[in-house]
Amino acid sequence: MPIKTNVLQSILYKIKHMAKSSMAKYVLRRLLYLIPIFFGILIIVFVSTRMAGDPVKLMTGLNPRITAEARERLTQYYGLDQPLYYQFLKFVWEMLHGNLGNSYAIRGGTAVTTLVGDYAWETFKLQLTALFFSLLIAIPIGILSARKQYSKLDVTVTTTSLIGTCIPIFYMGIVAILIFSYSLGWFPYGAAHSLDPSRYPFGSYLLDELWHLFLPATVLTFAELAPVVLLVRSSMLEVLRQDYILAARASGLSERTVIYKHALRNALIPVVTYVGLYFGGMLAGAPITEKVFNWPGVGRLYVEAISKLDFPVITGITVFVTLMVLIANLVTDIAYAYIDPRIRIE
Amino acid sequence: MAPREILKIENLTTYFYTWAGVVKAVDGISLDVREGETLGLVGESGSGKSVTALSILRIVPMPGRIIGGKIIYKGENLLEKTEDEMQQIRGKEIAYISQDPATSLNPVFSIADQLTEVIRRHQNVTKEEALKKAIELFRLVEIADPEIKIWNYPHQLSGGMKQRIAIARALSCQPNLLLADEPTTNLDVTIQAQILELMKNLKKLGMSMILITHDMGVVAGVADRINVMYAGRVCEVASTKTIFRNPVHPYSRALLEAVSHVTVKRVQPKIIPGAIPNLISPPSGCRFHPRCDFAAAECAAVVPQLVEIEPEHYVACIRAKEFMENVKEVKL
């Protein structure tokens, strides 16, 4: 059969038509969606916090000698006497200039941007470490467990994961502190740093940081590990039953290619969804974890700000968390489109 | 002189160890495929046809296991090969087309990726050469605009197109034996005809083929010989002509009568009463006897062996001789 094939032409076609059209357009569209969503969330939070109470009353409630006039002046000082739409527009205007206002309650009016910056870093450090290690451990274990379904290893993994999913993090955290900090004295009770530089192990700030990070990160890793293992396992089991896996095996592909290329790529789709959702919530800081380990993170800051009706901090953290969740969703969407061509090409 | 056999299966036994019990999916079947021939493997769903094909490639999914027999391919027993050796045989020597084109291609990789991957696994070629071969294969299976279509993903293609691609993938390394597991079952009738035409053309490449189907119409057009299976055993083996003109085993006859014909008069196809038996505890003796119109008392006791009742015509039925003698009378 005489065949005239122009491979080069074919490759050129691919570069010209397939690659360009799909991914960039997809990302751009997703980005544009983010803007109205961001402002929508902002309006809801802004209005609802301002309906929650009067911070001036809260601040002055325990002071018997406060005059009505002084209260008036405080209200004016914070701009709370203005109509709500004016407050909001002013806030947006300031925000676009990189200013989220000053705290009512913390250290004589610290800038919210500084506060969020400091606390967010600690949250990131803890949560990303835990997420990284939990995925690193969970994915191979889940795959192994699925490949050896009903074996002793699989039963052990499944049972342990189920137990792990059932234990709440505050319990696991307290037990860990009891054993490793209180009884054995290996790790600090909480916080992210030693206050006194003379207590740094070997005088190193970095080692001190890692020393403080170890226990909460380990507990969080285990808490996140269990559901991911179960998810990877069940998703992998589902994929391994598919015809295309049989077809890949029948083509003589190596077991490694079959599992890690053909099966894993498909099995990861639900895992990406889960991690994406989790990631968003996680950046909001896990207030409970942060409370147990006395961790100076965003979650703890948020709870404290709410209890003091510290409007600028509440709105500031909301801006930050909203942005993070939206970015996490965007990353998830991009990861999705990367993994599954059915999403990027209609 | 008998034609040379490319594949000879002796007493193959594949069981599935499930919670409910041991499913005897393939229970001691023997068959042979000759060089250049197309062997039709026919039977109802659940008769062990697919498991036979998967056993040949040794990719029976869990909890299935090949527990006995011999699969002799080109003089060597495949069951004694290592996994690495088997990987070299799969796709290169013996290729497989699975039943559902919609699911036999991985949805997340482009067609080019999936085809070149197999080509590069078995042939020492560069990416560009593999791509060139893939495009040539597209021409072979009659796909228009191969240079463009090759970059598509499975979801962008129709069922018929996907099955053509699955066939192209199976043919990519010029296998000597092709196992086609119901290649037309999940396609529209018009597309079925096209694919069958394609399969017929492929026979000209000199390849041997096992065509697995439950559709008598499909085997009639393509197969040279037919192997009728029932509940994990072989009932009758003969040339296609013999099976259609002079079937002896009651099951083969029942199968033929169940085929609907397109005629002016409305003829209701005959239904085989009952269902395929539970293979965890199959009937004793001949496995077809509970559904057989001609079952004798001893059918429940004796396991019938394949006997050559005339040259090149094997039947596993203790009453085969009787049926042969009174073919006219017994015929329904």
Look at residue B22 and give its three-state secondary structure: strand
| List of chain B residues whose C-beta atoms are within 8 Å of the C-beta of residue A18 | 151
List the single residue in A with minimal CA-CA distance to B145: A10
Give contacts of A251 with chain B, Cβ < 8 Å: 90-91, 95-96, 117-118, 121, 169-170
Q: Which residue has the tokens 């598509």?
A: B152
Phi, psi of B71 (to 5 degrees): -125, 100
Closest CA to B276 of B312, B230, B328: B230
A346 pLDDT band (50/70/90 cuts)? low
Q: Which of A148, A161, A156, A146 is nearest to A236 (CA)?
A: A146
Calculate how close chain A gets to B95, using CA atoms only, in Å: 7
B121 and A252 within 8 Å at the Cβ level: the answer is yes
H-type alpha helices, B172-260:
189-203, 216-222, 240-245, 250-257
Task: Report the gap between the CA of A22 and the closest CA in chain B (Å).
Answer: 12
ipTM greater than cut 0.90 = no
Rg (CA), chain A: 26
Contact A324, A283 (CB under 8 A): yes
> And the tokens for A182?
């209180």
Interface test with B, best of A22, A244, A258, A271 (most B CBs within 10 A): A244
Instruction: For residue B90, list its beta bridge partners.
Output: B94
**Distance separating alpha carbons of residues B280 and B246, to the nearest angstrom:** 33
Percent of chain B predicted with pLDDT > 70: 94
Which region among A162-166, A232-236, B68-72, B298-302 has the lowest average model confidence (pLDDT)?
Answer: B298-302
How far apart CA B153 and CA B163 sit, in angstroms, is 13
Rounded Cα–Cα distance for residues B302 and A12 (Å): 67
Is B121 within 8 Å of A339 when comparing Cβ atoms? no
Q: Count of CB contacts below 8 A, A vs B?
A: 117
Residue B49 CB contacts under 8 Å (≥ 6 apart), including other chains: B41, B42, B43, B181, B212, B213, B214, B229
Phi, psi dihedral angles at B226 (to 5 degrees): -130, 140
> Which B-chain residues 240-259 have CB contacts (< 8 A) with chain A?
none
What is the residue type of A313?
V
Mutate to test the interface with B, among A21, A251, A257, A271 (most CBs of B within 10 A): A251
Which residues in chain B are contacts of A262 at CB distance < 8 A? 106, 109
Question: How many CB atoms lie under 10 A from the CB of residue B313?
Answer: 19
pLDDT bucket at A236, cuts 50 / 70 / 90: very high
Nearest to A252 by CA among B175, B37, B189: B175
The whole-angstrom separation of Cα A337 and Cα B319 is 63
A148 contacts: CB under 8 Å, gap ≥ 6: A154
Quick: pLDDT tens for B137-147: 888 878 888 88
Among A12-16, B144-148, B274-278, name the one with the lowest average pLDDT.
A12-16
CA distance linking residue B237 with residue B250, whole number of Å: 13
Which residue of chain A is at minimal alpha-carbon distance from B63?
A: A149
Under 8 Å between Cβ of B138 and B89: no
Q: Report the pLDDT value the prediction gives residue A233, as an integer from 0 to 100.
A: 93
Report whether the peptide linkage leading into residue B63 is cis, meaning its omega lies within 30 degrees of zero. yes
Residues of B in Cβ contact (< 8 Å) with A6: 147
Which residue is closest to A269 within chain B, CA to CA?
A: B108
Rounded Cα distance between A281 and A324, Å, is 9
Predicted confidence at residue B264, as pLDDT, reads 62
Q: Cβ–Cβ contacts within 10 Å for residue A93, how many?
A: 10
pLDDT tens column, B41-53: 988 877 888 888 8
A10 to chain B, minimum CA–CA distance in Å?
Answer: 5
Q: What is the mean pLDDT of residues B273-277?
A: 75
Which residues of chain B lie closer than 8 angstroms to A255, CB-CB?
Answer: 83
Residue A143's pLDDT is: 92
d(CA B323, CA B331): 9
CA atoms within 13 A on the CB side of A181: 19
Whether residues A251 and B169 touch (CB distance < 8 A) is answered with yes
In whole angstroms, what is the distance from residue B25 CA to residue B64 CA?
9
**Following DSSP, what letter does each residue of A35-54 receive, concatenated?**
HHHHHHHHHHHHHHHHTS--
- Given a cut of 70, whether residue A48 has pLDDT beyond it is yes
Structural domains of chain A, with CATH: 33-99 (no CATH), 116-344 (1.10.3720.10)
In terms of CA atoms, which chain A residue is nearest residue B119?
Answer: A251
Contact B272, B258 (CB under 8 A): yes
Q: How far is A227 from chain B (nearest CA, A)?
A: 25
Q: Which residues contact B325 (CB under 8 A, 6 or more apart)?
A: none
Is the pLDDT confidence value at B1 over 50?
no
Cβ atoms of A262 and B106 within 8 Å: the answer is yes
Burial zone of B235 (CB within 10 Å; 0-12 exposed, 13-18 middle, 19+ buried): buried
Question: A250 and B99 in contact by Cβ < 8 A?
Answer: no
What pLDDT score was predicted for residue A22?
A: 67
A265-274, A321-330, B197-206, range with the lowest pLDDT: B197-206
Whether pLDDT at A2 is above 50? no
For residue range B188-222, what is the model confidence (pLDDT) as tens digits?
777 788 888 888 887 777 888 898 888 888 888 88
Residue of B nearest to A346 (CA): B156
Give contacts of B 19-78 with A, CB under 8 A. Answer: 54, 57, 59, 61-62
Q: What are residue B114's phi and psi, to 5 degrees?
A: -70, -30
Q: Do B109 and A265 touch (CB under 8 A)?
A: yes
The answer to whether B119 touches B92, Cβ cutoff 8 Å, is no
Nearest to B317 by CA among B301, B297, B331, B303: B303
Contact B7/B21 with Cβ under 8 angstroms?
A: no
Which residues of B fall within a CB distance of 8 Å from A337? none
Distance CA B40, CA B307 (A): 19
Find the length of chain A.
346
Tokens standing for B46? Answer: 């659940």
Whether A86 shows a pLDDT value over 80: the answer reads yes
**Which residues in chain B have Cβ-Cβ distances shorter than 8 Å to A3?**
136, 139
In the chain, the amino acid numbered B2 is A
Round to whole Å and give the CA distance between B107 and A266.
8
User: Which amino acid does the sequence have at A75?
Assistant: T
> B280 — contact with chain A (CB < 8 Å)?
no
Least confidently predicted of A256-265, B65-74, B260-269, B278-287: B260-269
Least confident of A19-28, A32-41, A50-59: A19-28
Position B70, amino acid: K
Instruction: Round to whole Å and give the CA distance between B136 and B175.
Output: 16
> CA–CA distance from B271 to each of B48, B256, B268 (Å)?
21, 10, 9
Question: Measured between CB atoms, does B162 come within 8 Å of chain A?
Answer: no
Q: Is B132 on the interface with A (CB under 8 A)?
A: yes
Residue B253, sorted as left (phi over 0), alpha (psi -120 to 50) or beta, turns out to be alpha
What average pLDDT does chain B have?
A: 82
Q: How far is B46 from chain A (nearest CA, A)?
A: 17
A339, B108: Cβ pair inside 8 Å?
Answer: yes
Rounded Cα gap, residues A147 and A135, in angstroms: 18
| Helix pair angle (A205-240, A169-176), 10° resolution | 140
In SS3 terms, B130-177 reads as HHHHHHHHHHHCCCCCHHHHCCCCHHHCCHHHHHHHHHHHHHCCCCCE
DSSP state letter for A102: B
Collapsing DSSP states into helix, strand and coil, what is residue A321?
Answer: helix
